[in-house]
A and B are shown apart, each in its own frame.
Chain A
Amino acid sequence: MSHPLPATLDAAAFREAVLAGAACLEANADAINALNVFPVPDGDTGLNMTLTLRAATDATPPNAASVGEASAALARGALLGARGNSGVIFSQFLKGLAAALAERSEADGPALAAAFNAAAEAGYQAVGNPVEGTMLTVMRAAGDAALAPDAGDGAADALTAAYAGADLALARTPEQLPVLKEAGVVDAGGQGVVAFLAGMAARAAGEAPDFRVALPEGAAASSGVNVSREFMEHTEEEMYGYCTQFVVQGEGLDPDALRERVMAVAASTVVIGDDRVVRVHAHAEDPGPLLSLGAAAGALSRVDIVNMDAQHQDFMARHGYEGAAAPSLRERAPFAVVPVAPSDGLARIFRSLGAAAVVSGGQTMNPTAAAIIAAVEEANADRAVVLPNNKNVILAAEQAAGLSDLSIAVVPSATIPQGVAAMLAVNPDLDAEGNAAAMAAAMGSVRSGEVTTAVRSAVVDGAAVAEGQAIALLDGALAAAAATPNAALAAMLEAAGAGGGALVTLYYGAGLAESDARQAAAELSAGIPGIEVEIYDGGQPHYHYLVSIE
């Protein structure tokens, strides 16, 4: 496809290799999404890593004076733009990489090998409790392989060795993590690392990027396409023009070529897919040319155009702002709580409990560290506690706390019910540390349930689940599968042993009507004597019910 890169990379060649890695990761994002252990619609590892790397490459100038300067910009962009746990860990890799390359104007094979080792080391350090069989293992294998004596001295040698080592380690991840083996998949984050390295290695050698992720049995890439509208609405900080999304279907589609054309007329582009289905997301002043590009390539479907200017004004109005200077109207408080919530309904509930600002995001739209910092700034308090309310947001919240000059503590709530319980423990008489401790303790007072629809057939925790079935998870483990959400909910509460005196709070999702939730509450009340059931409009995407049991 193009000439090989020199054996010693200067800043421009280094950037080119990284861009090629990013493009390869992006081309495989859908397939990586499908490598999800649980058949729940939160398989966004591919997207999270893609968007993290996109933020990183966008921050890297084409004219950097040295590899050190380019890699520092890359790492900074990744840190601020990291989404989801996989993205955060990836950003830590880049941070370690940049630290190792900091003093270098150019990088040859041994320099890159050392940098990959430093990257792996930084990743391990960033994770409180490193687990083998994950992207950490894969990254370390990449570093080890690149350092091997027979790897060669050129940049392409190191990258090729790193890719090969990573790919071998990836294949072994199911042996290291039983959940992967049971689900019949390799680790998704590790797969992302492999795709990135594959792209870099191919570019360095001047080869065509023909790398394709192998899909697990029974998982179609399309089932992993979870680029929900809500996700994309929150994907970018830019809030002007039209957010335009559509799907192109056809034969022999070329996502890379389409991406090039879309990028020429729009900003914030994400183009992912394969030769049959391509999904396009972009922001443009005029959505017309975008649609024409899509229609020229294949058949358009699921066209969604949102006026972000109007959206922005709605947001301002809803939050009581009348002008751009309005955020400063909030009086500075000594202490504030800033939760993350995936829908307007849940955001309203948190605000009604005293949240000073709410970060949009959650399960299928992990917010960036930068978005979390922005919300803490909006809260205008001396000290802030962030409630991630999702296990895949905790690392980004911690990253935000580390990056910001503001005083931010993270109370690691993994679910919305835990976040609500923590919120209720806030005591204005306590200082920030006292509140953080009380909030963390209160999280343990609730059990968390989720009812969703299986996005593929799978064996989970020894039980077979069919695609399309309603499934219920209790504290993160599969508790029930049934034909309807209400049946799965009832079976889960039975599994939870919820009896008399228990308070069950149902936050029903965007896909259910209030009458469905009322019926569920009535059935539960009738079935379990002495139980109290409350229903609230959560409006969250994908999840029929979020359930708090206390």
Chain B
Amino acid sequence: MAVKVVTDSTSDIPSELAAELGVAVVPATVIFGEESFKDGVEISREEFYRRLTTGKTTPTTTQPSVGDFLEVYKPLIEEGHEIVSVHVSGKLSGTVNSARLAAAELPGAAVEIVDTELASAGTTLAAKAAAEAARDGADAASAAQEARAAAANTEVKFTLDTLEYLRRGGRIGGAQALVGSILSMKPVLKLENGEVHTHEKVRSRGKAVARMKEIASEGAPYEEIAMMHSSSEEEAAAMAAHLAQLTDKVVLTVRIGASIGAHTGPGALGFALRRKGG
């Protein structure tokens, strides 16, 4: 018997890392008009962004169903495992509800559900903390506690090329006020209490990226950092090189997949900074 960590595709956890730590990923579904795809399974990142930028239809996303979770949970329980299920903020997605309902279908099974109040690279850091605790012999409750502590100590900041996708998808939260601006905005955004908020209003991409680097440097050194992006390799590499100076651990680079990308659009760049002592 062991503890297994489950997450969903909005964590954008790299497949190599998931394989290495034995993390199972439940995919969300991305829908382009009449066509639907399981994120990361039935549609690649490259294909998704190609359709996003050139297609006529705006994609929507749906959380994994209770059935999708049961398909992953059941075999693990039957093999005698305990489960720590680590997910995207319940205020951005109903995923964590599906997970809870699925757990309720399995009476007696040890399933710990963690709402990280984060997304993408932030959720990845929490899932990684749980998986590393489990690997070191923690039970489900302690591994879940590790994930919660990591999530509570992690701040996610990001910038977007356009707020349009966030607005269309209804995830714009506290950054709503920026949408009415006549002046173009490249704000630095943050996740706070599980929702998107404006951290700073910035007028250009170059300044937003420069400001993000400053913000990251302000709280250094960090326990761990994960960077997320759907931007150019050049911009991402420069940010990764900057972040590498701010932590002893290797900086994780997370490519934003379809279920997050549908809400951020191309050109997203951000990071999850896990403070020391958490």
Are the C-beta atoms of B201 and A503 separated by less than 8 Å? no
Distance of A376 from chain B, by nearest CB (Å)? 21
10 contacts between A and B (CB under 8 A): A349-B182, A352-B183, A353-B182, A420-B183, A424-B201, A503-B206, A503-B207, A505-B203, A534-B183, A534-B184
A-B contact count (CB 8 A): 32
B206 x A501 contact (CB < 8 A): yes
Q: How far is the CA of A503 from the CA of B186 in the complex (A)?
A: 12
A374-410 residues with Cβ-Cβ distance < 8 A to B are none
A76 and B181 CA atoms in complex are apart in Å by: 39
- Which residues of B from 205 to 228 have beta carbons under 8 Å from A? 206-207
Contact between B177 and A505, CB atoms less than 8 A apart = no
Question: Residues of A contacting B182 with CB < 8 Å?
Answer: 348-349, 352-353, 536
Beyond the given A353-B183, A501-B206, could you list 17 further A-B residue pairs with CB under 8 A, ordered by the A residue number? A348-B182, A349-B183, A352-B181, A352-B183, A353-B181, A353-B182, A420-B183, A424-B202, A425-B201, A503-B203, A503-B204, A503-B206, A532-B204, A532-B206, A536-B182, A550-B203, A550-B207
Q: Give a binary string over A522-550; 1 marks a CB under 8 Å from any B CB, 0 the rest.
A: 00000000001010100000000000001
CB neighbours of A503 from chain B (8 A)? 203-204, 206-207
> Smallest Cβ distance from B50 to chain A, in angstroms?
27
Query: Given the complex, which residues of B lie within 8 Å of A320, measured CB to CB?
Result: none
**Residue A334 is within 8 A (CB to CB) of chain B in the complex:** no
Range of interface residues on A (Cβ < 8 Å): 10 to 19
Answer yes or no: B180 CB below 8 A from chain A CBs.
Answer: yes
Contact B206 A352 (CB under 8 A): no
How far in angstroms is the closest Cβ of chain B from A548? 9
Which residues from 155 to 214 on chain B have a C-beta closer than 8 Å to any C-beta of chain A? 177, 180-184, 201-204, 206-207
**A20–B184 CA distance with the chains assembled, in angstroms:** 53
Chain A to chain B: the 6 pairs with minimum beta-carbon distance, closest first: A424-B201, A352-B182, A503-B204, A349-B182, A352-B181, A352-B180
Residues facing B in A306-363 (CB within 8 A) are: 348-349, 352-354
| Nearest chain A residue, comparing its CB with the CB of B192 | A429
A353 / chain B contacts, CB cutoff of 8 Å: 181-183
Q: How far is the CB of B214 from chain A (nearest CB, A)?
A: 13
Chain B minimum-CB-distance residue to A532: B204
B206 touches A505 (CB 8 A): no
A420 to chain B: closest residue by CB: B183
Q: Which residue of A lies closest to B174 (CB)?
A: A428
A318 CA / B181 CA spacing, docked (Å): 17
Which residues on the A side are within 8 Å of B177 (C-beta)?
A: 354
* Mask: chain A, 396-439; 1 = CB below 8 Å from B; 0 = not: 00000000000000000000000010001100000000000000
Residues of B within 8 A of A424 (CB): 201-203
Tell me, rounded to whole Å, the shortest Cβ–Cβ distance linking A264 to chain B: 46
Report the Cα distance A457→B183, complex, angstroms: 36
Chain B residue at smallest Cβ distance from A348: B182
How distant is B243 from chain A, measured CB to nearest CB, in Å? 20
Closest to B182 in A: A352
CB-CB under 8 A from B203, the residues of chain A are 424, 503, 505, 534, 550
The complex places the Cα of A241 from the Cα of B183 at a distance, in Å, of 37
**A-side contacts of B202, CB under 8 Å:** 424
Contacts of B184 in A (CB 8 A): 534
Chain A, range 484-527, C-beta contacts under 8 Å to B: 501, 503, 505
CB distance from B242 to the nearest CB of A (A): 16
Select from chain A the residue with minimum beta-carbon distance to B177: A354
Chain A min CB distance to B130 (Å): 31
Residue ID in chain A nearest B180 by CB atoms: A352
Query: How distant is the Cα of A353 from the Cα of B187 in the complex, in angstroms?
Result: 13
B residues in contact with A505, CB < 8 Å:
183, 203
Kindly list chain A residues whose C-beta atoms are within 8 Å of the C-beta of B181: 352-353
Residue with the greatest number of chain A CB neighbours at <10 A, chosen from B177, B180, B182, B207: B182
Which chain A positions have C-beta within 8 A of B204?
Answer: 503, 532
* Min CB–CB distance A266 → chain B (angstroms): 39
Q: Which residues of chain B are within 8 angstroms of A550 by Cβ–Cβ distance?
A: 203, 207
Residues of chain B with a CB closer than 8 A to A349's CB: 182-183
Distance in Å: Cβ of A244 to nearest Cβ of chain B:
34
- Give A348 to B206 CA distance when docked, in angstroms: 26
Complex alpha-carbon distance, A532 and B202, angstroms: 14
Q: Which B residues lie within 8 Å of A534 (CB)? A: 183-184, 203
